[in-house]
């Protein structure tokens, strides 16, 4: 069930109505049933996976609560191993099996790999990480074990953030699942406005740009020069609009139920360093890796060499988390290497103003764009082709630009205006809350903005487009 589907447009009002009409003591029941229904709409068999992962982490946390020493560590290790084992089996088994066969093939006859070709369960990486962080938090003593299985299951499966985050922490979401909520009109209206902004990013930007990026990244060998540059830049904006759009819809939907999810994006393409970028991009995942991988490895409280190793390991694992493909690992490695180089060249707290600021913003955006070529490409070979042919024909600069823009059709004017709106919104978000600022205006002004905005989304939707959110595949 996609957020941008008719099914969800029917599902959400029904759940919303049941949630607020039934007695407050049943609110968690509504969330649990609706969340499992939402997940089963993808593939009913895979509900057993989320149920198994939920049960393992739930009982492991209870068993750890009053244990100490090696027994406590053993329970933590077993719970994490089972959850990661399920994730590995469905997401990485075929990749590692092929990789081992390729390595053996370097020294002898390459054996035929045994491939399962399993369909990746939607959201498995997200809810697995949420369960792992829960048992680690209980182990560390920063959270208490939840004793109510139903409420804990609702925490793990909460449908707005189930399949693509934000990856919630126990101390934020679990108390809200336990709480009996009273309807907050202002919060619900804000949630609807945030959802509208998310749908704008998905429907009027990500899906429109996806028409072009898919055509080029699926068959890059047919393109050269500025067409490839445009495709790379467009994918950089597309994936941001697609993923942050999902996050906005998820956070807005949660507010309809009186629940606040963590912010997942903070205008990342206005960052002046790669370090700052990762403080603004997919914040729930970057902080997860910081707290559960990077810091346990030693973080930055060590020698520069060891710090560099910690960064590289963290980002390589982050790349692998995104998918069982060498391209994702290289993407993560590029970002890790970028941060290592920054640590030697830039002070930790470094910000510029004026032209230097915009130069640094452009540099970081360009770095992210080149790295995402690997993320978007089907293979390393395709990524290398794209990067090596970006500037073909640039000696004839006017022809280079003209041929590049030839990939556009009648969507270009609307797309440009949508991009201007996107970056204006993100720029002003650095200083304040744009939605609240518009809401504080007079009735005529704000309703004019709302109506024009909704009409703009409607008239810029790609016809007959059934695209899923990019991060659903992770």
Catalytic residue numbers, as ranges = 322
- Cβ atoms of 40 and 47 within 8 Å: the answer is yes
b/e sequence 140-149, b meaning 16+ C-beta within 10 Å: eeebebbeee
Q: In angstroms, rounded to a whole number, what is the distance separating the alpha carbons of residues 54 and 63?
A: 14
Gap between the Cα atoms of 212 and 412, Å rounded: 11
What is the largest distance, in Å, between two alpha-carbon atoms of the chain? 75
- Joined together, the tokens standing for residue 436 give 């609240």
What is the token pair recorded at 422? 């996107």
Closest CA to 139 of 71, 64, 56: 64
What's the rounded Cα separation, in Å, for the pair 232 and 238?
10
Tokens describing residue 327: 């391209």
What does each C-alpha distance from 370 to 70, 147, 212, 232, 331 come to in angstroms? 46, 47, 17, 7, 9
Closest CA to 319 of 298, 337, 304: 337
Tokens standing for 367?
Answer: 């770095």
Residues in the chain, overall count: 474
Joined together, the tokens standing for residue 207 give 């899906």
d(CA 453, CA 474): 31
Contact 326, 380 (CB under 8 A): yes
DSSP letter, residue 293:
I
**Other Cβ atoms within 10 Å of 53 Cβ, number:** 22
DSSP for 185-236 reads HHHHHHHHHHHHHHHIIIIIIIHHHHHHHHHHHHSGGG--THHHHHHHHHHH
Distances in whole angstroms, Cα of residue 180 to Cα of each of 23, 32, 319, 336, 381: 9, 14, 39, 43, 54
């Amino acid at each position: 069930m996609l957020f941008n589907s008719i099914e969800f447009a029917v599902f959400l009002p029904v759940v919303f109505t049941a949630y607020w009409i039934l007695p407050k003591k049943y609110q968690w029941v509504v969330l649990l049933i609706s969340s499992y229904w939402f997940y089963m709409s993808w593939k009913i068999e895979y509900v057993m996976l989320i149920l198994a992962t939920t049960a393992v982490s739930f009982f492991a946390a209870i068993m750890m609560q009053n244990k100490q020493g090696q027994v406590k560590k053993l329970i933590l290790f077993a719970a994490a191993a089972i959850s990661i084992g399920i994730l590995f089996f469905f997401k990485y088994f075929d990749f590692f099996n092929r990789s081992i066969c390729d390595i053996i093939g370097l020294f002898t006859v390459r054996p035929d790999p045994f491939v399962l070709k399993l369909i990746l369960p939607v959201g498995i990486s997200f809810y697995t990480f949420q369960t792992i962080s829960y048992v680690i938090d209980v182990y560390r003593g920063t959270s208490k074990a939840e004793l109510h299985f139903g409420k804990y299951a609702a925490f793990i499966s909460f449908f707005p953030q189930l399949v693509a985050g934000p990856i919630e922490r126990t101390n934020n979401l679990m108390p809200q699942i336990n709480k009996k909520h009273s309807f907050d009109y202002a919060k619900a209206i804000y949630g609807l406005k945030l959802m509208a902004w998310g749908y704008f990013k998905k429907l009027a930007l990500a899906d429109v740009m996806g028409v072009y990026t898919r055509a080029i990244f699926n068959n890059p060998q047919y393109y050269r020069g500025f067409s490839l540059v445009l495709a790379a830049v467009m994918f950089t904006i597309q994936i941001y609009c697609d993923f942050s759009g999902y996050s906005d819809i998820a956070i807005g939907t949660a507010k309809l139920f009186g629940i606040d999810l963590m912010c997942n994006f903070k205008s990342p393409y206005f960052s002046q360093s790669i370090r700052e970028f990762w403080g603004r991009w997919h914040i729930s995942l970057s902080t997860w890796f910081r707290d559960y991988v990077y810091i346990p490895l030693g973080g930055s409280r060590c020698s520069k060499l060891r710090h560099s190793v910690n960064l590289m390991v963290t980002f390589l694992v982050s790349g692998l988390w995104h998918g069982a493909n060498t391209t994702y690992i290289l993407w993560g490695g590029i970002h890790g290497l970028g941060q290592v180089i920054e640590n030697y060249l830039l002070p930790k707290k470094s910000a510029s103003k004026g032209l230097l600021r915009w130069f640094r913003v452009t540099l970081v955006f360009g770095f992210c764009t080149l790295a995402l070529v690997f993320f978007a490409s089907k293979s390393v070979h395709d990524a290398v082709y794209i990067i090596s042919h970006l500037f073909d024909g640039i000696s004839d600069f006017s022809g280079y630009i003209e041929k590049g823009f030839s990939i556009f059709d009648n969507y270009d004017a609307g797309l440009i205006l949508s991009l201007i709106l996107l970056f204006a919104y993100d720029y002003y978000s650095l200083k304040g809350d744009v939605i609240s600022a518009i809401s504080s205006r007079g009735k005529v002004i704000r309703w004019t903005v709302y109506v024009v905005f909704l009409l703009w989304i409607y008239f810029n939707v790609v016809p007959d487009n059934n695209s899923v959110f990019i991060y659903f595949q992770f």
